Amino acid sequence: MQHQKFCGPCLPTMLLMFGLVVGDGFRGLAEGPVPCASTATGDIEIVPLKSTVFSNERNLRIWLPPGYHDAANASKAYPVLYLFDGQNLFDRCTAPGQLAEWRVDETVADLITRGAIPPIIVVGIDNAGAQRNHEYQPYLNPLLVSNDPQGLAGDRIPSFLSQDVLPLVTSHYRVSKERNETGIGGSSAGAAAALMALIQRPDIFGLGLLESTSLQFGNGQLMRDTSPILRGPFRVSIGVGTAELGPDISKLLDVPAFDVSIVQLSQTLAGNFKAAMFNHPEVKVTVQEGAHHGAQYWAERFPAAVQFLYATQAR
């Protein structure tokens, strides 16, 4: 077996996303040590959100497609994609360590321009900084000892979306309310949060985008939550790398088979979705050779994923 090269620049993001940076770790990484030139492009509106579910505040970063404000489109409702970790999606300066972002704005604009997907709205939901893992995790992470004095709140994510996020967005923007045009997604713990929404609110979310999902949560319980699935979404895109942790961090955490296992778990998750009893979702699985747990690789997989989810609506 070829030994994967250690990804030094990926380390801060990998540690953060796996919940190994806690407390104010996210805030410290996101602020970065030096001034940063924004990489955000297009029409992005920053909208404050007060959460009644989590009793805190954050921003929504809402990317609007070209032509949204044109008079000719005044009555048009747009497909929508909600993504967790909004700080990581559009701007390197707000991403952890200012290292990499998903390039969602550039990618979606290009796909729309080429007619590969219809115009869509993307809603980035900022995480809660130091409380990110507290909010996203439905279960304990077996890779580390929990020190969350409040307990975990990931079971509230579906309510957070349905009671806080969607009412604000639908009251101010022309987004479709059809489930086959409403997607939810994220990466790492954010993908676990999106997975909880797909399982518990299939009446709302008919499209799912799951990157490097933290399927280890609950030491098997999160996976058990996906079997059986009764009503599944229309389409789900699942992405994972073959070196999510890499041999060095895997050895450090005493989980030498993690990378092989997380690929197998992602493939099992795909099978569980396909086996949904009331319908048979389309599922795309991408296993990226050598890819680590970081935004660079999520950005590389995002174009094919979003095209799989939304392309049929462009025809």
| pLDDT given at position 107 | 98
pLDDT tens, residue by residue, 140-163 = 999 988 766 578 999 999 999 999
pLDDT above 80 (res 131): yes
**Domain boundaries of the chain, sorted by first residue:** 8-314
| pLDDT given at position 147 | 64
Diameter over CA atoms, the chain: 59
For residue 95, which phi and psi values (nearest 5 degrees)?
-85, 160
pLDDT tens, residue by residue, 300-312 = 999 999 999 999 7
80 three-state secondary structure: strand
| pLDDT given at position 145 | 80
Question: Is 8-314 assigned to CATH 3.40.50.1820?
Answer: yes
Best CA proximity match to 230, nearest among 283, 172, 275: 275
Name, in order, each residue with C-beta under 8 angstroms of 83's C-beta and a sequence gap of 6 or more.
89, 102, 104, 122, 123, 124, 125, 184, 185, 186, 190, 209
| pLDDT given at position 206 | 98
Average pLDDT for 44-49: 98
Continuous segment of H or E residues that includes residue 285 = strand 282-288
Q: Which amino acid is at 151?
A: G
pLDDT averaged over the chain? Answer: 90
- Picking from 13-27, 276-290, 301-315, which range would have the lowest pLDDT averaged per residue? 13-27
Average pLDDT for 231-257: 96
Q: What span, in angstroms and rounded, lies between the C-alpha atoms of 70 and 61?
A: 21
- The percent of residues in the chain predicted with pLDDT above 70, rounded, is 87
First-to-last alpha carbon distance for the chain, in angstroms, is: 43
| pLDDT given at position 26 | 41
pLDDT tens, residue by residue, 153-212 = 999 999 999 999 999 999 999 999 999 999 999 999 999 999 999 999 999 999 999 999
Q: What span, in angstroms and rounded, lies between the C-alpha atoms of 114 and 109?
A: 9
Average pLDDT for 230-259: 96
Q: What span, in angstroms and rounded, lies between the C-alpha atoms of 130 and 125?
A: 15
Average pLDDT for 264-291: 98
